Structure 1
Amino acid sequence: MISADSIPEGYREAVLFSILALCWGSSFVAIEIGLEYVPPLLFAGFRYAIAGAIVFGYAAVVSDRIRPVGRAEWTAVAVAGVFVIALYHGLLYLGELYVSGAVAATIVSTAPILTVAFAGVLLPEERLAPAGIAGFALGLVGVIAVVQPDSVGLGSDVAAGAVLVFGSAVAFALGGVLVRPIDSALPIETLQAWAMLVGSGVLLGWAFLRGESVAAIELTSAMVLSFGYLTLVSGAFAFFLYFELLERTGATQVILVSYAEPVVAMGVSWIALGHLVDSLTLVGLVTILAGFVVIKRDALRSLLRSALERRSTTAP
């Protein structure tokens, strides 16, 4: 695990959360930069081949099993690898050929809402309540505000890119729901490592079918920095933080990173590329966040109550 002993106890979760949001939010801008020099699917495939190998080594150290056993565990690996790694990143990288990293991050922030919607349809015990439907509708309104179809045109490259990015959020959410009913005791570190390796194989096969060539890669300093950052920082290191934060706080708080990522992406995009998002993009992000709050209001209320109780017990 990433050691957090040097961080004061009362601030550890907030610091880990902030670093994770910075790593994953900035990755959208790093992708935007790297796509100037590397074909999209090769870019994603090579990134996760290396990151998967690193996480696999980490899993070998911290977990009691490094290999799936039985049909259920291999099915979980396949679902996570195909949907959460390959389809999510493949569609995201293709979409970022046409839309900025900040816009892509905002559209991807619908993934938690889509997860609840898919769970309500596919898992009988999680049927969507009226408030959930309202939250889902708010999320879609937020995406429309970000894309602004009236101004860009439904047949434009920007609209096509937005559809691809939204498809990546759909793939991520659907994969997360499909893996839930699978009876698997595989440690999360091992599952993530195998999913990365399987996903990278699918991405590289997809790149071959699409006609992408290694010869098309331009080896520049910007490309090396982008690829290295995405592989080592936003990939391997960020997942170590994710495991640490998941163990400390649970899934609900980790999901909230999705709503910090677009803010980070907007800031990094402005600093690194001089790009500013318009007011409708900000309105879209707030609307998507509102939809999530409506859906997860009980869990968020419980999370806030727990945080206040911890603070009161640790106060001098």
Structure 2
Amino acid sequence: MSRAVVWSLYAACVLVWSSTWVVIAVGLEDVAPFFGAGIRFVLAGVGVLTAAVLLKRSLRTDVFLAGLIGVLPFATSYGLIYWAEQYVTSGLAAVLFGVLPLYVALLAALFLPEEPLRPRLIVGVAIALLGLVLAFGESLDLGTGEHTALAALAVILSPLASAIGNVATKKRMHGLDPLVMNGWAMVTGGVLLLAFSAPTEDWGATNWSVSSIGSIVYLAAFGTGFTFVTLTVLLRELPAVTVSFISMIIPFGALALGAVFRDETVTAVAVGGALLVVAGIAVAQLRFGRMR
């Protein structure tokens, strides 16, 4: 696959995932968190598997990997995120999720021999995290309520499940069909979320408004079906840590979308933070010793 196509897919993931945090918050106004997340992943999985059938692809895949992705990134990580966004802002959730590259870097060093933990990687991640704190620290509050601190902690821990999934995908995905593997994983994650939701949430209280239905459909089709299949392709083409930096760019994508579509102010502090994130990614990824 050409580099141009790879980086175009990378940019597409950033753009779509930048919007999903706000869309999740919109859906939570009318739909219980685990119920909404479960419907999202089941719909996405069925859609992706249907596409695989129409393309005449075998539905056989790595059962262990599909199950792992279903349980960890999909059910666990997104279950925590959906629950937490009831108590913290969507912007803060996106920022806190930005610790993902640190988790991926540590796990990749343990399980991916081709991605050792180099000092420049740690320095780069630290610089990028500083950029996130600088850009959003003064404008985001934790919100109010007895579960606010616990919700923030849940978002910080949720990327660990995603990091395990990313590293496992990088290690075991060779030769597998990304549509089929992700389809089964999405169905698995969705069913688990619905199973957890059934005894703990009141499905009858759901308000099937235009916004709630639109939120679920958008998140299923674009925020799940398109992005996670694309993520699998990116993990075949790029180092796992490079792919994980998407989570550090997403908050600034959300900021840019807010400025374009909602006339939200972009401050000098936010721009400075964005530049630090770019600098951190450059430090982590570029091999300066080989540059002329």
Category of TM-score, reference length = shorter chain: 0.7 to 0.9
Structural RMSD (CA): 3.9
Amino acid at match of 1:192: N
**Secondary structure class of the residue paired with 2:94:** helix
5+ residue gaps, structure 2: none
Q: Which residue of 2 aligns with 1:190?
A: 180
Q: Which residue of 1 aligns with 2:87?
A: 98
**Secondary structure class of the residue paired with 2:95:** helix
Deviation of 1:112 (Å): 3.0
Q: Which residue of 2 aligns with 1:295?
A: 284
Q: TM-score, normalised by structure 1?
A: 0.73
Out of 194, 205, 227, the position equivalent to 2:195 is 205
Distance in 2 of aligned mates of 1:131 and 1:86: 33
Amino acid at match of 2:34: L
Distance in 2 of aligned mates of 1:128 and 1:230: 34
Distance in 1 of aligned mates of 2:32 and 2:64: 29
Mapped contact 1:136–1:291 kept (Cα < 8 A):
yes
Describe the superposition over 1:67-93 as per-residue Cα deviations: whole angstroms up to 9, x where unpaired: 23xxxx221111111112111211111
Q: Which residue of 1 aligns with 2:15?
A: 22
Deviation of 1:124 (Å): 5.5
Q: TM-score, normalised by structure 2?
A: 0.78
Distance in 2 of aligned mates of 1:208 and 1:217: 13
Q: Which residue of 1 aligns with 2:165?
A: 175
Distance in 2 of aligned mates of 1:14 and 1:143: 22
Mapped contact 2:128–2:248 kept (Cα < 8 A):
no
Deviation of 1:291 (Å): 3.6
Deviation of 1:114 (Å): 2.3
Mapped contact 1:85–1:199 kept (Cα < 8 A):
yes
Aligned: 1:131 with 2:120:
yes
Amino acid at match of 1:47: R
| Cα distance change of structure 1 residues 260 and 241 upon mapping to structure 2, 3 Å threshold | same
Distance in 1 of aligned mates of 2:89 and 2:67: 30
Q: Which residue of 2 aligns with 1:58?
A: 51
Mapped contact 1:140–1:288 kept (Cα < 8 A):
yes
Distance in 2 of aligned mates of 1:85 and 1:268: 25
- Higher alpha-carbon deviation: 167-176 or 43-52: 167-176
Deviation of 1:122 (Å): 4.3
Out of 238, 242, 256, the position equivalent to 1:251 is 238
* Residue-pair matches, total: 286
Describe the superposition over 1:165-203 as per-residue Cα deviations: whole angstroms up to 9, x where unpaired: 222222111222244444864322211111111111221
- Higher alpha-carbon deviation: 94-103 or 264-273: 264-273
Out of 64, 84, 88, the position equivalent to 2:73 is 84
**Secondary structure class of the residue paired with 2:49:** helix
Distance in 1 of aligned mates of 2:272 and 2:224: 29
Describe the superposition over 1:144-181 as per-residue Cα deviations: whole angstroms up to 9, x where unpaired: 557749x9589975543332222222211122224444
Q: Which residue of 2 aligns with 1:34?
A: 27
**Secondary structure class of the residue paired with 2:60:** coil
Deviation of 1:65 (Å): 2.5
5+ residue gaps, structure 1: 1-8, 306-316
**Secondary structure class of the residue paired with 2:58:** coil
Distance in 2 of aligned mates of 1:50 and 1:23: 18
| Cα distance change of structure 1 residues 286 and 203 upon mapping to structure 2, 3 Å threshold | farther
Aligned: 1:266 with 2:272:
no
Deviation of 1:273 (Å): 6.7
Mapped contact 1:147–1:162 kept (Cα < 8 A):
no
Mapped contact 2:18–2:250 kept (Cα < 8 A):
yes
Distance in 2 of aligned mates of 1:170 and 1:96: 18
- Higher alpha-carbon deviation: 113-122 or 133-142: 133-142
Amino acid at match of 2:21: F
Distance in 2 of aligned mates of 1:33 and 1:125: 41
Amino acid at match of 1:60: V
